[in-house]
Amino acid sequence: MAIVQCPVCQKRISSLSKVCPHCSAPLGEMTPEKQREIAALKRQRHIQWAKRISLLALTLALAGALGWWFFEDTGWQWPPPPWAMGVLVMSFLFYVAGRAWLLWLHLSRPRQRRF
């Protein structure tokens, strides 16, 4: 018996279990190739979402900066209107979250064995 990773929820489970005790994924019916395929697909979806969050953050930052410029006649003058400040802070947080997620996905990627 060995401890393996559930291909669906990534939690540690026994290699002998037929059903994941955490997410109830039916493991007995899946071949190892199928399990790897599902894990890769899930990872790919997560990467797409992390990129979407980063893109959303950049769009928000642009909207905040343009809004700050056009909302008042004075242009980019400190301090920005509170709503523009809110949008900019939010975009920054979204960007950091998206990038941190991407970094984590990169660091936790399955490594190929080299012979």
3-class SS shares of the chain: helix, strand, coil, % to 5: 55, 5, 35
Shortest spacing between CB 72 and Zn ion, in angstroms: 53
| Residues touching Zn ion, count (CB under 5 A) | 7
Residue 50: other Cβ atoms inside 10 A: 20
Shortest spacing between CB 102 and Zn ion, in angstroms: 23
Query: For Zn ion, which residue of 9, 30, 38, 90 counts as binding (CB under 5 A)?
Result: 9
In single-letter form, the type of residue at position 69 comes to: W
Which positions from 15 through 74 interact with Zn ion, judged by CB under 5 A?
20, 22-23, 25
Give dist(CA 109, CA 76) in Å, integer. 42
CB closer to Zn ion out of 41 and 66: 41
CB closer to Zn ion out of 24 and 59: 24
Q: Name the residue among 52, 68, 62 with its Cα closest to residue 91.
A: 62
Give the residues lining the site for Zn ion (CB under 5 A).
6, 8-9, 20, 22-23, 25
